[in-house]
């Protein structure tokens, strides 16, 4: 049986980010500015460019651990908005009012249940990343599978004209995925934020103007 743990976090908590040998300029900056991960600068840049997050928005963050995207989104939506995060691991340092955590594997998540529980959302973010093997085709297809699932969830939980941001690895399948997204949203772009590591093949599909649940 699939078990879903939901955690509503109420108390404010001190934010931390561990040091490691891969630290770069963005990591050091993130630690100094008290973000939970360097990837916050990707979302910040995407938001700056596409004006995605507004005060009062209700956001779903797929693959939220360690929590910097949720942390950023919570600041942007303010007291009237909220963020639901889903991941295999709980972002223990993200103990902030307005954040709700669902622990689970998105690939086996009961999506209809999720739809009922959190609908409607203004924005769905997916920074989901599979554990990588180093074998290009395997990693690309795992990433695509997560992206397809994120799109399926987005179509269930978004309100009309809502937005969707989704990480995908460049390679076979990206064109087809973009086409699929274009059938549901009125504007779709591909964007590679400056904070993306040079060797990474990741790119973000930015979609706005969700057309509703009927294709």
Ligand X SMILES: C[S@@+](CC[C@H](N)C(=O)[O-])C[C@H]1O[C@@H](n2cnc3c(N)ncnc32)[C@H](O)[C@@H]1O
> Which residue is it, tokens 């397809």?
148
189 beta partners: 206
Nearer to ligand X, 4 or 8 (CB): 4
Catalytic residue among 10, 34, 149, 167: 167
167 is catalytic: yes
Number of chain residues interacting with ligand X (CB under 6 A): 23
Number of Cβ within a 10 Å radius of residue 33: 11
User: Does 4 engage in binding with ligand X (CB under 6 A)?
Assistant: no
Position among 9, 15, 17, 36 found at the interface with ligand X (CB under 6 A) = 36
**Residue with Cβ nearer ligand X (148 or 211):** 148
Q: Are 117 and 54 in contact (CB under 8 A)?
A: no
Position with the least CB separation from ligand X: 63
* Residues 128-167, interacting with ligand X (CB under 6 A): 128-130, 146
Binding residues among 48-77 for ligand X as defined by CB under 6 A: 63-69
Shortest distance in whole angstroms from residue 39 CB to ligand X: 4
Q: How far apart are CA 113 and CA 116, in angstroms?
A: 5
Residues 103-122 that bind ligand X (CB under 6 A): 105-107
Quick count: other Cβ atoms within 10 Å of Cβ 209? Answer: 14
71-84 burial: b if 16+ Cβ within 10 Å, else e: bbbbebbeeebbbb
Rounded Cα distance between 128 and 66, Å, is 12
Contact 50, 206 (CB under 8 A): yes
Q: Which one of the spans 9-17, 101-109, 169-177, 193-201 is the region binding ligand X (CB under 6 A)? A: 101-109
Q: From 7-15, 86-94, 112-120, 207-215, give the range in contact with ligand X by CB under 6 A.
A: 86-94
Helix 111-118 to helix 136-157 angle (10° resolution) is: 40
Looking from the CA of 23 toward its CB, the CA atoms found within 13 Å total 11
Where does this chain touch ligand X (CB under 6 A) — which range of 36-44, 51-59, 133-141, 204-212? 36-44
* Interacting residue ranges for ligand X, rule: CB under 6 A: 36-37, 39-40, 63-69, 86-89, 105-107, 127-130, 146
Please list the active-site residues.
167
């Amino acid at each position: 049986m699939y078990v879903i743990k939901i955690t509503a976090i109420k108390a404010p908590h001190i934010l931390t980010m561990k040091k490691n040998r891969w630290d770069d300029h963005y990591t050091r900056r993130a630690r100094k500015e008290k973000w939970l991960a360097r990837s916050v600068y990707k979302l910040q840049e995407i938001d700056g460019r596409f004006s995605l997050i507004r005060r009062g928005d209700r956001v779903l963050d797929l693959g939220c651990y360690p929590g910097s995207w949720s942390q950023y989104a919570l600041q942007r939506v303010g007291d009237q908005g909220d963020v639901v995060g889903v991941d295999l691991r709980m972002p223990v340092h993200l103990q902030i009012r307005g954040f709700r955590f669902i622990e689970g594997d998105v690939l086996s998540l009961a999506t209809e249940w999720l739809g009922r529980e959190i609908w409607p959302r203004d924005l769905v973010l997916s920074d989901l990343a599979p554990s990588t093997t180093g074998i290009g085709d395997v990693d690309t297809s795992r990433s695509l599978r997560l992206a397809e699932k994120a799109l399926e969830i987005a179509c269930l939980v978004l309100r009309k004209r809502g937005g969707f941001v989704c990480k995908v690895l460049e390679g076979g399948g990206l064109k087809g995925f973009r086409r699929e997204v274009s059938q549901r949203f009125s504007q779709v772009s591909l964007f590679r934020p400056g904070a993306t590591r040079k060797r990474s093949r990741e790119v973000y599909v930015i979609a706005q103007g969700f057309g509703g649940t009927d294709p």
